[in-house]
A and B are shown apart, each in its own frame.
Chain A
Amino acid sequence: MTEQKTQHEHIVQPEMQLDARAVKLNIFSKFLHTLGIYGIAGLFVIFGIVLQVFGVINGFLSVQNMLNIVDAVALLGIVAVGMAFVTYSGHYADLSAPTTMALTGIVCVQMLRYGFLPAILISLAVGISVGLLNAVAIGKFKANPIIWTLAVSYVTLGVIRLVWVNKQIYPDVMASSQRASDLFDAIYRLRFFGKIALPVIILIILIIIYTLLMTRTQFGAQLKITGAARKAAKFSGINVERIIGAAFLVSAVSAAIGGLVVTSLSRVGAWYNGAGYDFRAVTAIVIGGMTLAGGRGSIIGVVGGVLIIGLMNNIMTLLGIGTFSQDMIRGAIFIIVVGVSAKSLRSLGRDDA
């Protein structure tokens, strides 16, 4: 028996003749696998410096500009790290995020008449309730995530425009006191040590909480399996309905917080606040290495994706590229990244497609 066993082990352990890295990968995915997303961010910084050295752009390499970049993407980061849970769960994206942002913001401005804190709490609750709706429909009733969240975003938009009769409302007008209005303004403008903005602090706190949630809790571990193979997760005794629902809730929490920030930034509660943040967030998520197939990637990676978008925007703006051209370039990059990552994962045998 022992002899048989050793012989058997010999059979099932053919000598490794090839290293796993012998697979052909194109240059871009090689960078992704060896340097990681922050390597690419580094490349962008170097690119910016080169442009400055050759005098093509001015003022890229300054402390103020670097802070500008972080400032500019903190809001996107807040939304993206939450939506990442939806992508991670294998449900692509939460398209209701922009209108959740708008709703939270406009409700908060409206409620400022009852004081700052009550307004914040009520509006966050309203924003998160949109997530609850998504959670039930997509988790429990298996609605298609793209179609459902798209529909929810239109319904929410309709509700906002109906209730506020297509009007914009202003915090300084709505607030019960100057103090409440000032506090609301400060959400975006408060700076610690005179430099680091409150949204950046909020983003850092969210990164820490979400990373722990994704990697160190029962929810995170079960979410990974659910995202990678929903049926297998169900057959492993995982309550997939609740797990998927929770992912949409996290996304709504982030979108609601983002809604407060964006509304404080524009100093106006309006239906169009947050528009465009759905696609921008998905782009950051995908560039950050979280594939649309689910179960793969990390919050830190997504933050890297957000940073790259920030660097890209900054350089493009310094180069004087127009907004429309910037949108086009971002869209093209999204397509390239999705294509390249799907291809390299397949050639590595990491994908079942």
Chain B
Amino acid sequence: MLNTTVLEMTKVSKAFPGTLAVDNVDFSVEVGEIHALCGENGAGKSTLMKIIAGSYNDYTGHVYISGKEVDLHTPSKSKSFGIEMIYQELSLAYPLSIAENVLAGRMPMKSRKKNGKGLFIDKDKMVRETRRCLKMVGLDHLDPMLPIEDISQHEGQLVEIAKALGNNPCVLVMDEPTSALSREDVKRLFTIMRNLKNRGISIIYISHHLPEIFEVADRITVLRDGKKIATREKADITSEELVQMMIGHSVNEFYSHADHSINEIRLSVDNLTRNGFFHKVSFQARKGEVLGLGGLSGAGRSELARVLCGLDSRDSGTVQIDGKEVKIRNMGQALRKGIAYLTENRKTEGLALRLNLGENILAGIIPQLTRTGIYNSRRGFGILSKLVKELSIYPPDPLRIVNNLSGGNQQKVLLAKWMASEPKVLILDEPTRGVDIGAKMIIHQSIERLAQEGHTILLISSDLPELVALSNRILIMRQGHIIREMQKSECTEESVLLAANGEGV
């Protein structure tokens, strides 16, 4: 029994300034199992995994690998024990070839002696070795010399796995590997994961998608506030129980179904085109309406949003707000005309991570807080404290650096920034991506409240339950065209998904 446990951690803790991110956690992984790790953002999943990866040299507790106690104080040490990480954001070097990425750090060198180290790279061996790694993830049709920027995101994800497999790992840690993948790609990834499992490799799988966890995992461990709540066999737990363990109380209803009253037209888009991205897009949105934009990734939804708020230029077509045509060339103009855009890339485009909560929330309304040339952030204090309270941003400290907040609270800060600017039209691009259930609920309530107050919301979301529940109407985009408009009564997760795939009437 004992020797089937490949990784065991007992009483592991790790502290950060202000929080105990991992608090006395016991965790174990068997040979050849897929072990899902669940919890809200900030529950300590990522920190626990970083301990395993050797990112910290100051954790406390004991770690055993195959029964022997080890200390994982550096990444190279973890690697030497056969632990490989695959991170949420791809860590590939885009201009380099697949082979150079897969074999980074262990390039085969030409040498007269066997296994000797020569001066020059052995290109044939490099290609052969890369092929071998790619085969394990079903990518043997790809040319190893292709640069990463020329392959799809899904393939990039698999290359990352191939890179990890090349080191013959015994434990593979995957942090949200499916967040950017389409359904078919997720299915293929799961097949590969099952193959690896059958070969005796253990996988620790972190995800927010409960259906995926139930599809692929053998055992599930739940963390909350840095503490371990339970480890269960998949068969012994229902998704309701799991959610309850994650957030600590039962959720009867994720979404309310408020009936929005329909008012006059606020936004009118006519034949809007950006060549190569979307074509002759026309629609209208009313005051107080949540207009959903459904479709697969790459259907042109984010591109439409970027043109509407002036980040990209348009080739033809008109946009009217309250019956007046507007020509928007940059984000500043968009804000003045009343259009705000919440980006899907929170960390790079959304927040200034090094600045504090207050500075981030007020970033979009600095001109409004400036009078006779003098900017005074104290004028924004009222708005700030109202929004922090309304979105229950934690900690409610305007001076807290945003980088130190959990993902869910960062997302709330981003939403608060745009709520502060009181836009007529608020475009939300994946407003709850990678966010825990508690924060998601609060964000959904805020969206509904904004609509009730008369703001027009354009909601772009790949989260189907969210899209269906919040939208008054859904426009389905496919390959740059609006192919269908669905009223609230027709919208179900199934019908929207079918429509997005170009099926069903």
Contact = CB atoms under 8 A, between A and B. Distances in A.
B381 interface: no
B332 A237 contact: yes
Interface in B219-266: 224-226, 247-249
Interface in B359-382: 359, 362-364, 366-367, 370, 373-377
Interface stretch (B89-97, B151-159, B350-358, B496-504): B350-358
Interface in A7-66: 7-14, 16-23
Contacts of B359: 221, 224-225
A173 interface: no
Contacts, number: 139
A228 interface: yes
Contacts of B353: 228-229, 352
A91 to B, nearest CB: 16
Contact of B417 (A4, A218, A236, A349): A236
A333 B190 CA distance: 54
Contacts of A216: 374-376
Interface stretch (B13-21, B141-149, B449-457): B13-21
Nearest to A215: B375
Contacts of A295: 352, 354-355
Interface stretch (B165-173, B341-349, B465-473, B487-495): B341-349
Contacts of B373: 217-218
Contact of B332 (A224, A238, A349, A351): A238
B225 A14 contact: yes
A349 B406 CA distance: 13
B363 A225 contact: yes
A253 B251 CA distance: 61
Contacts of A18: 15-20
Contacts of A23: 17
B363 A236 contact: yes
Given A16-B18, A228-B352, A293-B354, A221 B366 contact: yes
Interface in B1-55: 15-20, 40, 42
A218 B394 contact: no
Given A11-B248, A220-B375, A352-B353, A235 B343 contact: yes
Contact of B355 (A220, A225, A234, A239): A225
Nearest to B225: A14
A13 B19 CA distance: 10
Chain A to chain B: the 8 pairs with minimum beta-carbon distance, closest first = A229-B352, A237-B335, A218-B370, A228-B352, A236-B363, A20-B17, A237-B331, A352-B353
Given A8-B249, A350-B354, A352-B347, 17 more contacts: A7-B248, A11-B40, A11-B247, A12-B394, A12-B438, A16-B18, A218-B366, A220-B375, A224-B355, A225-B355, A228-B352, A229-B351, A229-B352, A232-B363, A234-B331, A235-B343, A237-B332
Interface of B: 15-20, 40, 42, 224-226, 247-249, 311, 330-332, 334-335, 341, 343, 347-355, 359, 362-364, 366-367, 370, 373-377, 392, 394-395, 401, 403-404, 409, 417, 421, 438, 441
17 contacts: A8-B249, A8-B438, A8-B441, A11-B247, A12-B409, A14-B20, A17-B19, A17-B20, A218-B375, A221-B359, A228-B352, A234-B331, A237-B335, A238-B366, A239-B332, A296-B354, A350-B354
Interface of A: 4-5, 7-14, 16-23, 216-218, 220-222, 224-225, 228-229, 231-239, 293, 295-296, 348-352
